[in-house]
Chains A and B, each alone.
Chain A
């Protein structure tokens, strides 16, 4: 069965600090996809990134970066120089090859304090 663990329930940082959100996944599939979504206080789900299991290149997008380590089944998310607007719940998710069977992690609530 597929499973996503986000061990950090809540994190608080002060603005401009870097913060890393951990995600560990379990799957028996050889082809799968990993995602991060942001859920701001307004409640909607905002897509951040998708990574397939064959692409272990790390990715950087502005202040966001992702570290995919297949050997440890982890897909961690780092926000550099955090801002108050980054305050949200962040969900890591895993899907099978067909884009179905999406499993979300429990989420990490990030609070960035001014």
Chain B
């Protein structure tokens, strides 16, 4: 069964360092997403990406964050200068298509746990 894969599964970094979280979405999917879940809290939307550009982003997704699809398969989330409060589980997700008749199902990766010290 196709799946979304994320690397690394866990990253520990020092405050102020740059972090890149990587995701390989399901191959025929066109919509890509990042979500964040601070420990014990709810899953929060960060950003959605379609046709090589950001289609939606939340207030959390400030200038410290960026996303790109560098090579047609990977979908990355970069945090430029990490803060303590960026410690969370980051989930990548993909879906087949949007619009009327879409499957609507988001397939999630297993998450990347980021710990900022």
Listed in ascending order, the chain A residues whose CB lies under 8 Å from chain B are 31, 33, 35, 37, 43-47, 50, 52, 91, 93, 95, 97-107
Q: CA separation between A35 and B111, bound complex, in Å?
A: 19
**Could you say which of A91, A98, A106 contacts B99, with CB atoms under 8 Å apart?**
A98
Q: CA separation between A56 and B110, bound complex, in Å?
A: 31
**Could you say which of B31, B100, B102, B106 contacts A47, with CB atoms under 8 Å apart?**
B106
Residues of chain A lying within 8 A (CB to CB) of residue B31: 99-100
Q: Are B42 and A50 in contact (CB under 8 A)?
A: no
Q: Are A102 and B45 in contact (CB under 8 A)?
A: yes
Residues of chain B lying within 8 A (CB to CB) of residue A37: 43, 108
Q: A97-B99, A99-B102, A101-B56 are in contact. List 7 more A-B contacts (CB 8 A).
A: A37-B43, A43-B110, A43-B111, A93-B43, A100-B31, A102-B33, A103-B45
